[in-house]
Amino acid sequence: MQSLKDARPALRGEKTTRPPNAQHARQPSFGHRVEYALAWLVLKTLEIMPLSLARLACAGLASLSYWLWPRLRKTGTINLRIAFPEWSEAHRRRILRGEFLTLGRMLADFAHFPHLNRENIERLIIYDGFENFARAQRQGRGVLLLTAHFGNWELGSFAHGVYGHPCNFVVREMDNPLLDRLINRYRSASGGRPIEKKDFARGVLRALRRGESVGVLMDQNMLPDEGIFVNFFGLPACTTAGPARIARKAGAPVVLGLVIWDRQLRKYRLHFDAVEWIRRPNPEEEIAANTANFTLVIEQYVRRYADQWLWVHRRWKTRPVGDPPLYP
């Protein structure tokens, strides 16, 4: 699953200190091997269970995690107070517990990726608004799929590939090279290809120029020199401008792609929405305006499905100069 930390974007010509083949040159430590073995065991155990039983087990694990990780609970509570000051504390706790259950369901579903194919994918996830993606794809300039740590974000590009539309996706290389390869094998099993964040600009541009789709998560905190401040729930949030910069350079259409858990259907919807491009005379103003708009579009869905977003991430950690910190 995607890490919560973002990498420094290469759009401004910055050089990375790690060579492209660094991961393959690193030797796994003993700790890496133990971590890999535990992750492999968990995934394989969940995989051999019926999905309903795997989800039940992960729901129990998620509920336990809610009580065992007070730091995450505190971060989620702070974020929910920022975003929804009008809510009661009891309501915020319900939403936060719901988020943990969402993460548990995602783990169970991720373990079952090897069993998914064109014959059974509709039992788990269906398209919603596919015409918006198809319309963008017909333009022939690739499609930038804007997404977030929302619902089952790992399922989006995977299911799109199972349905016959393999999608590139941007990832951050994990510290554990064994675990990195394991997770990416699951992610790529339907034909998708990972693009490492250290190669963000070049990798995404190449894919778009080939007419391919690229999924980009853009709802995480950035360091001051890595992002720009735009409003998220009425508060300045340091946000990557990389997706807007790339879309402008490539002339690629932008489509929102979110995986939403539908309680009535008891399955996911892979929801696509066209995202309007805002034009400005000044290129940097245009990039800032579209970054703000992308963030607003994500916020609108978070408001509608509050228990499906990653509240335990310190989204407002980077503050404008002179503003006090929001997290202890």
What are the tens digits of pLDDT across the range 261-292?
Answer: 999 999 999 999 999 999 999 999 999 999 99
Considering the entire predicted model, what is its pTM? 0.90
Judge whether residue 10 has pLDDT over 80. no
Percentage of the residues of the chain whose pLDDT score is greater than 90: 91
pLDDT given for residue 3 in this prediction: 35
The confidence score (pLDDT) of residue 235 equals 98
Residue 173 φ/ψ, nearest 5 degrees: -60, 130
Is 12 a residue whose pLDDT tops 60? no
Q: Is the confidence at residue 19, as pLDDT, over 80?
A: no
pLDDT, position 188? 97
For 19, phi and psi rounded to 5 degrees?
-65, 155
Decide if pLDDT at 21 tops 70. no
Residue 185 banded pLDDT, cuts 50, 70, 90: very high
Asked if residue 17 has pLDDT above 80, the reply is: no
The domain locations on the chain are: 27-308
pLDDT score of 26: 74
Minimum mean pLDDT among 7-11, 53-57, 188-192, 294-298: which range?
7-11
- Mean predicted confidence (pLDDT) in 100-127: 98
pLDDT for residue 253 is more than 90? yes
pLDDT of 16 over the 60 cut: no
**Looking at residue 25, what is its pLDDT?**
55
Q: Which of 3-12, 211-220, 248-257 has the lowest mean pLDDT?
A: 3-12
The mean pLDDT value for 7-35 works out to 57
